[in-house]
Structure 1
Amino acid sequence: MRRVSLGEDVQTKMETLALWMQRSQSTVILTGAGISTESGVPDYRSEDGWWNKVDPLTISTASVLSSNYDLFHEFYSSRLRALGHVQPNRGHQIISDWEERGLVHTIATQNVDGLHQLAGSTNVTELHGTIRRFRCSRCDATAELEEFLNKEACVHCGGNLRPNVILFQEMLPQGAWDVALRAITNAHLVLVIGTSLQVSPVNQLPSMTAGKIAVINMEETDFDHGFDLVIHGTAGEILEQVNALIMIPSS
């Protein structure tokens, strides 16, 4: 595969990140939508992102789930059908390989697409839930994909079914938050990938480590000044080149 020239400064930064990865005894990766865009999954806030097409407060909230289920169901059904043909990309695969090799110990993700797990990652904590599992909005009983897509009612109580994602107006799952916070607090290195860090409280997590903090993102974030290392570029391309540097034996 052709490698894109990213400039001397970026090359130096990638070499630094590769060295940090090799030396770290506890590395946490925090991912956002930018890790999945190369798989064809739209992000949220770019020009072509979900929230530039629709206002999330009119379609992805607990109140819309209750008051306009038809609209809610149509939106999430379309997302699920689009996701049916999506596969993990080289970024997901490299992170999975790093986990297998002991270079990464925890993956915390804001994504609901499940692509980290499809790539083979196992120690994944989903901070915003997952669109690949379903439950009743009334009694919380589990449900199946086809039941949701067919707009069936809950077999236990007759309630509306929903994906197990965290909607606006809902709290993050406490268990996932605790796992991520504990891992990041104790990390030697936190690598943030593909997120603008605009969503609270997840945007607070990188600052909660005493270790080094690095970010790979296409654009600047409001938190760049607080990172020890900032690399702007496509997640898959940067990760591929950092991975190649890690695989080169040190002299």
Structure 2
Amino acid sequence: MADEILEILKNARSVGVLTGAGISAESGIPTFRGKDGLWNKYDPVDLATLDAFRGNPLKVWQWYLWRMWLISKAKPNAGHLSLAEMENLFPAFLLITQNVDGLHRLAGSKNLVELHGNIFEGKCRDCGKVFEEEEFSELFALADRKRLEKMSEEEFKKVVLNGLKEEELPVCPICGSIVGPGVVWFGESLPEDALERAFAFAEKSDVFFSVGTSAVVQPAASIPLIAKRHGAVLVEVNPEETPLSPYCDFVFRASASEVLPGILSSLTE
């Protein structure tokens, strides 16, 4: 199986990849659902909505800063790094991710679509202004990934959970509203331009990888099927079976950090 897909990749001109939580789980990033007693009494659905933000922006930002603090400790793994290298091997390559952790960026990926946004960016829900990571860290120093990485748990609790006040939250310089995190909340639509770019690339892919995604969250879950429908060879890299598995031409029942470095190595020999 490995030899066959390698031969196909060596002749491929357009390669697409969709990644999900599985690739970042290998970097130690939790799913944030019930794994930390600090937030067990809160349902993520009650915090990751515009209504929640309007009602209590301080509480929502404290929760997101806690998530950002956890993510800041994580580093790209061999799966992320291999995909960053793979984009240089094909005339056309696009990495589409459902993850908001920014690890693909840290790994060096350039041809990247973050369908659900980036947790270290900011977005004003009133005027629509998006603040990229570096710009947002200047507007809201607590959102700086490197600063959070250096914080101990004790310092984080003191500064963010016990010390942060609503008047210290980031304010949009355009409209004066409080800026929220740059992720897609429940009830919000995915960015149209990101979705259109992902769908358009899937349609012209020669090979399409689904890596570490459960293949159940729409509309992302339909992207590999669009690629397949337009003639792409479909490859799944996932330790577990998913609803996508029956449609795949090649399936690797292992993690991204186990499979992708081997493929990369063989392609660059």
Contact 1:112 1:128 in 2 (8 A): yes
Q: Which stretch shows the higher mean deviation, 118-127 or 63-72? A: 63-72
For residues 243 and 43 of structure 1, do their structure 2 counterparts lie closer, same or farther at Cα, with a shift above 3 Å needed?
farther
Q: Cα distance, 1:229 vs. partner?
A: 1.5
- Give the percent of matched residue pairs that are identical in Structure 1 and Structure 2: 31
- Aligned AA (2:183): V
Q: Cα distance, 1:196 vs. partner?
A: 0.2
Match of 2:245 in 1: 224
Q: Cα distance, 1:206 vs. partner?
A: 0.8
Contact 1:32 1:194 in 2 (8 A): yes
Match of 2:191 in 1: 173
Query: 1:159-184 CA deviation, whole Å, 9 max, x = no partner?
Result: 22211111110001000011111110
Query: 1:9-48 CA deviation, whole Å, 9 max, x = no partner?
Result: xxxx333332322221111011111111222222467x85
- Aligned AA (1:145): S
Query: 1:81-122 CA deviation, whole Å, 9 max, x = no partner?
Result: 222232211111111111123276111111111211211111
Distance 1:217 1:233 in 2: 6
Match of 2:152 in 1: none
Match of 1:39 in 2: 27
Match of 1:200 in 2: 218
Report the secondary structure of 1:137's partner residue: coil
- Which structure 1 segments of 5+ residues have no match? 1-12
Match of 1:163 in 2: 181
Q: Which residues in structure 2 correspond to 1:1-251 (within 5 Å)?
A: 13-43=1-31, 55-102=43-90, 105-143=93-131, 144-145=136-137, 147-148=139-140, 149=142, 150-209=168-227, 210-248=231-269
Distance 1:64 1:175 in 2: 26
For residues 103 and 193 of structure 1, do their structure 2 counterparts lie closer, same or farther at Cα, with a shift above 3 Å needed?
farther
Q: TM-score, normalised by structure 2?
A: 0.78
Q: Cα distance, 1:57 vs. partner?
A: 1.5
Q: RMSD value over aligned CA atoms?
A: 2.4
Contact 2:58 2:169 in 1 (8 A): no
- Aligned AA (1:138): D
Match of 1:8 in 2: none
- Aligned AA (1:140): G
Report the secondary structure of 1:125's partner residue: strand
Q: TM-score, normalised by structure 1?
A: 0.83
Match of 1:4 in 2: none
- Aligned AA (1:229): F
- Aligned AA (2:137): L
Q: Cα distance, 1:155 vs. partner?
A: 3.9
Report the secondary structure of 1:36's partner residue: helix
Distance 1:104 1:40 in 2: 31
Question: What is the number of equivalent residue pairs in this alignment?
Answer: 233
Contact 1:137 1:161 in 2 (8 A): yes
Distance 2:224 2:266 in 1: 24
Report the secondary structure of 2:87's partner residue: helix
- Which structure 2 segments of 5+ residues have no match? 143-167
Distance 2:32 2:225 in 1: 23
For residues 68 and 208 of structure 1, do their structure 2 counterparts lie closer, same or farther at Cα, with a shift above 3 Å needed?
same
Distance 1:120 1:235 in 2: 17
Q: Cα distance, 1:147 vs. partner?
A: 4.1
